[in-house]
């Protein structure tokens, strides 16, 4: 069962962890966390998404269905990864929505998610877009 972290890196920066997949979210491309190439190479995967923390899809640079499909493909190709690290600037709304969707999509313990991440307030647009593109399914 994967664990979910919102604000702290849990894999070693020196050696990385091939059992960790990372999704990092920023409003602008230059705001993404910097990961040394040696760490990136040792991870199960790293996906960088760039979108703002807004709720109206008419606003510029909000989360899109194309980004949702990109995220779903990333997750589907790493379903056996036991640990997911999802982050954004505050670790509350954008990453909260992605991590909550991930928890539900992979069929994991949502109560534990909320216990581990009590300050999450998921972005409605991100969560509803992901739910529309990839409804939850329970994995065996």
List pLDDT tens digits, range 73-82.
999 999 888 8
In a domain, 28, yes or no: yes
CA distances from 30 to 8, 27, 76 (A): 20, 9, 27
The CATH number of whichever domain residue 42 belongs to comes to 3.90.190.10
**Tally of structural domains, the chain:** 1
In a domain, 123, yes or no: yes
Q: What pTM value is reported for the model?
A: 0.81
In a domain, 18, yes or no: yes
List pLDDT tens digits, range 1-52.
344 444 433 333 334 556 888 999 988 866 666 777 777 787 888 999 999 9
| Element containing residue 49 per DSSP (H, E) | strand 45-50
For the chain, counts of helices (H) and of strands (E): 5, 4
In a domain, 139, yes or no: no
Look at the alpha carbons of 14, 19, 20, 21 in this order and tell me if their dihedral is positive or negative: positive
């Amino acid at each position: 069962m994967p664990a979910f972290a919102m604000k702290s890196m849990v894999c070693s920066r020196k050696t990385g962890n091939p059992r960790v997949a990372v999704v990092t979210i920023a409003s602008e491309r230059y705001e993404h966390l910097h990961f040394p190439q040696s760490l990136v190479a040792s991870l199960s995967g790293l996906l960088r998404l760039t979108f703002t923390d807004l709720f109206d899809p008419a606003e510029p640079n909000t989360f899109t269905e194309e980004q949702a499909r990109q995220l779903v493909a990333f997750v589907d190709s790493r379903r056996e990864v036991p640990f997911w690290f999802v982050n954004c600037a505050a670790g509350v709304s954008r990453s909260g929505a992605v991590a909550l969707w991930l928890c539900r999509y992979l069929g994991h313990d949502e109560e534990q998610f909320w216990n581990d991440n009590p300050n999450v307030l998921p972005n409605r647009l991100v969560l509803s877009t992901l739910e529309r593109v990839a409804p939850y399914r329970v994995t065996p």
